[in-house]
Amino acid sequence: MSNLKSAKCYLSVEGDENNCCFISNDSLTVIKNAKKNNYPLEWVKQVYFKEKIFLIPIVFGGISASLSALALFEYFLNPWIMLSVLFLSSLVVYYGIQGGTALVIVTPIKEYDFFLKNVSDNLKAFVAYTNATLSGVETSYYVILDGNQEKYLEQKGELKLPESGLRLATSKPTTHSAVYLIHFNDPTFEIRYQKDSARQLNPVLFGILKLESVKKIELAD
């Protein structure tokens, strides 16, 4: 596969490949409005959310408001048109001051901002996972296979996962016989955090699981 991802999250709408982010063994990628921005992990110092103002609306709205107010005062043009322009310019300035939430990627060169319509719980979990990875904190993921899945994986060397994915555990299960610890060595799968019926976020595995990407855990009797 050309894109080997270890964790992935959509910025707004689930399934929107033009607006998503993912982290692999060596890079962090943010795709915004179909534009791909790739950052080597050794460059990334931190990822966080920040409330920021929109400078462009403030600048253009301020200039437009000033010119329309001057024209209104000097009676250069139709006063009703100038009043409308002044009102709209004031709204643009207000919009810029209100600003919005940005996903910030911190590198030694600069900070890169990606403005978001909203911040989902899934995206918060992804950012937390990314920062933990950058800090060297390894998150362990365990997948539980049924008898047929385990047999197929052992015989064929890889297992195509269901479209709905397989739910993962972040602590070692103790009541199942077919438990595998996942390794992120050139993964051919994705991990997405999704809400369950209780509205709790849980990691779910998608894609293709290869035998060399897992290690079977022997559970104590």
Mean pLDDT of the chain: 78
- pLDDT of 177: 65
pLDDT band of residue 1 (cuts 50, 70, 90) is very low
Q: Which residue has the higher pLDDT, 106 or 177?
A: 106
For 17-66, the pLDDT digits (tens) are: 899 998 887 889 999 999 999 999 889 999 988 876 556 665 666 676 66
- pLDDT of 3: 38
Q: Which residue has the higher pLDDT, 62 or 154?
A: 154
- pLDDT of 183: 72
R_g over Cα of the chain:
24
Q: What are phi and psi of 155, to 5 degrees?
A: -85, -45
Evaluated on CA atoms 95, 98, 103, 107, the torsion sign reads: positive
The DSSP code sequence of 56-101 is: HHHHHHHHHHHHHHHHHHHT-S-HHHHHHHHHHHHHHHHHHHH-EE
On the question of pLDDT at 118 being above 70, the answer is: yes
pTM of the model: 0.59
On the question of pLDDT at 182 being above 70, the answer is: yes
Q: Which two tokens stand for residue 190?
A: 């994705």
Residues sharing a CB contact under 8 Å with residue 38, sequence separation 6 or more, in sequence order: 27, 28, 29
- pLDDT of 197: 75
* Ramachandran category for residue 34: left, alpha or beta (phi over 0 → left; psi -120 to 50 → alpha): left
Task: Provide, rounded to the nearest whole percent, the portion of the chain with pLDDT above 70.
Answer: 71
- pLDDT of 190: 80
Across 66-70, 113-117, 120-124, 215-219, least confident range: 66-70
pLDDT band of residue 119 (cuts 50, 70, 90) is confident
On the question of pLDDT at 77 being above 70, the answer is: no
Q: Strand, helix or coil at 155?
A: helix
5-9, 39-43, 114-118, 176-180: which is most confident: 39-43
Q: Distance from CA of residue 125 to its chain's centroid?
A: 9
